[in-house]
Structure 1
Amino acid sequence: MTLEDLFAIIQTRKAADPHSSWTAQLLAKGPEKCAEKFGEEAIEAIIEAVKGDRAALTSEAADVLYHLLVMLAARDVDFADVLTELERRQSQSGLAEKANRP
């Protein structure tokens, strides 16, 4: 499964019954809850990275990616736009990109 596939599934869950899907339930709670959940998962991934537990970090990284996509969907940000932004940044060095940020 690609991240594009996962995002497409998440998009379909926006219209699903919240009692039938965790994704639909999370989206129904609103963008703020989706952002909160993303933050929790990111912290858990950081903890596992510091501990050095590769298996746990792998699991938490999957959670982070999933919850990032849910958060994007909750705010109607298309994943394709994120990929376009990454492509745009690829044409310059990371140091130049950071220097150009407001």
Structure 2
Amino acid sequence: MSSQAEMLDRLYETVLARKTETSENSYTARLYAKGTKKIAQKVGEEGVELSLAAALENKAEIVSESADLLYHMCVLWANADITPDMVYAELAKREGLSGLDEKASRKEKG
């Protein structure tokens, strides 16, 4: 596993551990205390902020907002009992498929 994936795994383990902490000392614990809707809202906000940074072609903001989105995404995963390995497995299933073929296969399933 690459060091980047290991870093994402460490981030996930950190936010997962915060589920049992008090919200007084941890922003992550505060998110968990506010529930799934708030966590989902934060993921959406960060996605929009990333999109805006991209539209403005601001590399520093793209990097910063990407990090924020990955953090909030890990909180969402942990809240939903989803592990990075589950996401990696999904990506592995899609590896080598054209994006159009992969998208068409999702339409066939649903």
TM range (shorter): over 0.9
Going by fraction, where is helix more abundant, 1 or 2?
2
Structure-2 residue corresponding to 1:100: 105
Q: Work out the CA distance in 2 between the residues paired with 1:33 and 1:100.
A: 31
Unmatched 5+ stretches in structure 1:
none
Q: TM-score, normalization: structure 1?
A: 0.94
Q: Work out the CA distance in 1 between the residues paired with 2:22 and 2:53.
A: 33
Deviations 1:49-101 (A, max 9, x none): 00011111110110011111111111111221011100111142222111101
Structure-1 residue corresponding to 2:36: 31
Pairs within 5 Å for 1:4-15: 4-15=9-20
Number of residue-to-residue matches in the alignment: 102
Q: Which runs of 4+ in 1 moved over 6 A?
A: none
Root-mean-square deviation (Å): 1.1
Choose the corresponding residue for 1:70, options 64, 75, 84: 75
Choose the corresponding residue for 2:61, options 56, 66, 72: 56
Q: Work out the CA distance in 2 between the residues paired with 1:53 and 1:99.
A: 33
Structure-2 residue corresponding to 1:89: 94
Deviations 1:12-51 (A, max 9, x none): 0000111111111111111110000110111011111000
